[in-house]
Structure 1
């Protein structure tokens, strides 16, 4: 069976879509009953040289077409078979943006979450584009993938689509990568590179509004000063408004803001942290929860959206807007070593259960069923 992957996001290692695409492509190309190829359109944000970083074992068609992903453009009277110069049984897209060309085969697209609709934190033009993309994907796809039961429920609530067309293919975690202990010298090197304190609570992620980093700062400000004196807060990718908020809360001397973290340093970051805070207002999945658990870092996460589903019994779940409750959870995990060890061991077991191999098997079964 000929499967052609849309690889637009495959090199974006900082977001879940890119991680999802890279790992599932790596799994699927190992199946002997699939003949895999890929395509990507060279837009304003995509350059040919970027694809040389991904060791894809077969042909990628790189097509100059900056207009191919305009959500309000009419479909063009040209087929993907002609564009890619080869035919495919199935076109598989790892996000919800389909090219404005005729897809002359069966189509699978992916809706990871409904953040712009569920959080109401995007402006109206962004929301309009998002809705146009999603409606187009649902109308032109034979099947839709999503990453959690929570996201599946949300899609069914917001859009007229039958449940049978939606397949949950969960994210996974590279357990060995995050779990394998680093040599002390390597940890020392990462600590020095990012000016990390000896003990710290970690927020690792973007500063988009739904990530709720303001609650991270406000909660930390409510932690007892004696605790803040010995355990600092580290925030990656901190924006200027977040830095200003730290100053307004009087905790600027206890908070470290880092620049973007090299993906090669991520696992060491987690292993150095005392706690991972992930109190988003909404997540379709939450890969950082599993990464931290695999690294042996206790996780305090939100009790909303997909996070309880992903965390199992291994995280301390909190109301993401209850800053007193978050502060209490932080103090409790830092003070109670037995609790910490229990969370760490449960975290290992939970992270192991979410493998990319299992996700690949589910996606392969979905592809074969669609082709029947």
Structure 2
């Protein structure tokens, strides 16, 4: 888990925090977490070995994964190394499993730029070729690997993810949350994602502006990026300053509170390897409208309103329908989400280890 910088790695951090402790609790596995210096103090429910790199520095991340990790894993006597974030050591005297969450760098190249983009273009195909088994989150990603990288389908196992468990964290009370985030008494539409171009938040703002007044209040939690300045500027140009709340990284309690008071959840991403927020909203009984791209239609099924993420009017229509959704839609989402669990993800992951051994 050399990639994991706490609070900065989005869905991949959720994946690691839910999966690793469950794997460690299995009787037939002995698990060691190899972490970077930023995550040295984090508890993953198993023994930790600190790889002496700062993962915010992409070159250090690569050096840690490709040079230091194989030596440390061999010294620990590891029989198998599972890399959780799409890249992996290409050699070592152990079996190698890699989870490739998506091919964002190829399908939506603007999502990865600079040194990170170059690294993904080189390291993801290397990981796919050198791994003994590959795990993906969705069938659509298996097809992406086969189409774009030529990876044999038989080498790839689809292991769906799950949302954050419901009821573990007490939500911030509605009155307190409305006061702290300046939400007033308005209807809330929620979207949860990093402020990155491929998340398509710019078109979501354009769509919101097409709705007649009084509009719902769009709340946008997620860790900030340079793209947020562009989003804020466009919101001002569209006259949406009073209709949007840009919220940074949100505590688990506040996020649960936002799910509890939201009238609907919208996820307009151009491409996702899975789309954890969609599943999390469904599990909490929040009506969902989401993009029909990548894995999202596969994850949402018929329990969400689907739209073309490049059609602002289509998004606006979905938002309007979301505000008038019938009472059965939340139940459909809850049932859909119930098919996913981290215990099932863990069991299927351990089965992949046995195939790779």
Q: So what's the TM-score if we normalise by structure 2?
A: 0.89
Match of 1:80 in 2: 70
1:24 paired with 2:16, answer no
Q: Which residue of 1 aligns with 2:136?
A: 146
In structure 2, relative to structure 1, the CA distance for the partners of 1:217 and 1:57 (3 Å cut) is closer
Name the structure 2 match of 1:363. 349
Q: Decide whether the 8 Å contact of 1:106 with 1:142 is kept in 2.
A: yes
1:212 to 2:222 alignment: no
Give the CA deviation at 1:245.
0.7
Judged with a 3 Å threshold, the aligned counterparts in structure 2 of structure 1 residues 126 and 62 are, in CA distance, closer, same or farther, namely closer
Select 1:58's aligned residue among 36, 42, 46. 46
Which residue number corresponds to residue 299 of structure 1? 288
Moved more, 353-362 or 231-240: 231-240
Of residues 120, 137, 141, the one that matches 1:130 is: 120
What is the aligned partner in structure 1 of residue 243 from structure 2? Answer: 254
Q: CA deviation at 1:190?
A: 2.4
Secondary structure, in 3 states, of the residue corresponding to 1:354? Answer: coil
Check whether the contact 1:109–1:144 (CA below 8 A) recurs between aligned residues.
yes
Alignment-derived partner of residue 162 in structure 2 = 172
Corresponding position of 1:191: 178
Q: Secondary structure at the match of 2:235?
A: helix
TM-superposition CA deviations, 1:77-109 (whole Å, max 9, x none): x78355663201111110123347x52110101
How do 1:253-292 residues align onto structure 2 when only pairs under 5 Å count? Answer: 253-292=242-281
**Alpha-carbon distance between aligned partners in 2 of 1:127 and 1:286, rounded to the nearest angstrom:** 21
Give the conservation status (yes or no) of the 8 Å contact 1:7–1:38.
no
Partner of 1:3 in structure 2? Answer: none
> Which has the higher mean CA deviation after the structures are superposed, 198-207 or 209-218?
198-207
Q: Which residue number corresponds to residue 40 of structure 1?
A: 35
Counterparts of 1:223-234 in structure 2, within 5 Å, are: 223-226=211-214, 228=215, 231-234=216-219
Separation in structure 2 between the aligned mates of residue 84 and residue 192 of structure 1, nearest angstrom: 53
Alpha-carbon deviation of 1:133? 1.0
Structure 1 position 74, deviation (Å): 12
Counterparts of 2:340 and 2:289, CA distance in 1: 19
Deviation at 1:69, TM superposition (A): 3.4
Q: 1:204 to 1:36 in 2, by over 3 A?
A: same
Residue equivalent to 2:10: 15
Contact 1:316 1:329 in 2 (8 A): yes
Aligned ranges 1:340-359 → 2 under 5 Å: 340-359=326-345
Q: Alignment RMSD, CA only?
A: 2.5
Q: Which runs of 5+ in 1 are unaligned?
A: 1-5
Whether contact under 8 Å (1:197, 1:232) holds in the other structure is no
2:310 to 316, 321, 328: 321
Change over 3 Å in CA distance of 1:69–1:7 after alignment to 2: closer
Kindly tell me the number of residue pairs found equivalent between the two proteins: 347
Tell me, what secondary structure is at the counterpart of 2:61?
coil
Larger Rg: 1
Q: So what's the TM-score if we normalise by structure 1?
A: 0.85
User: What do the CA deviations read for 1:134-189 (whole angstroms, capped 9, x no partner)?
Assistant: 122123211111111111111111113211111111111234238x885xx72322
- 1:250 deviates by 1.8
Tell me, yes or no, if the aligned pair for 1:27 and 1:360 is still in contact at 8 Å.
Answer: yes
Q: Which residue of 1 aligns with 2:220?
A: 235
Distance in 2 between residues matched to 1:241 and 1:204, nearest whole Å: 17
C-alpha distance in 2 between matches for 1:92 and 1:329: 40
Deviation at 1:52, TM superposition (A): 2.7
**Structure 1 residues 204-243: Cα deviation after superposition (integer angstroms, max 9, x where no partner):** 21111110001110111111113x1xx2222224612111
